[in-house]
Amino acid sequence: SQKIEQNSEALNIQEGKTATLTCNYTNYSPAYLQWYRQDPGRGPVFLLLIRENEKEKRKERLKVTFDTTLKQSLFHITASQPADSATYLCALNPNAGNMLTFGGGTRLMVKP
């Protein structure tokens, strides 16, 4: 069956450190993968998109990698800040088009 797996346990890190979140998928061949941020009581907000032919994408303190052989994406936040505390969701399209399927999300807590 098709699965998108993110670590359901919260990730606790110290301010200033790099946070690394993992997204693994099985039985998909996505053309691209997206990462979203969700704050409590709010809707998810788009952060980054990476296509299947891209190995790495950066945006300010964010970096995403996409390994289609390992079927894995890593999401990094460098120089983390307490304001980065949120739940981060990965999403991919199971087939052609822009319909997205989401992972369960990983909650990140950055402590001052």
Binding site for another protein (CB under 8 A): 31-32, 34, 41-46, 49, 51, 89, 91, 93, 96-105
Q: Please identify, using beta-carbon distances, which residue of 34 and 73 lies nearer to another protein.
A: 34
27 Ramachandran zone, left/alpha/beta (phi>0; psi -120 to 50): left
d(CA 57, CA 66): 9
Smallest separation, CB 17 to another protein (Å):
27
Q: Please identify, using beta-carbon distances, which residue of 13 and 102 lies nearer to another protein.
A: 102
Q: Please identify, using beta-carbon distances, which residue of 66 and 80 lies nearer to another protein.
A: 66
- Sign of the C-alpha dihedral, residues 3, 32, 70, 67? negative
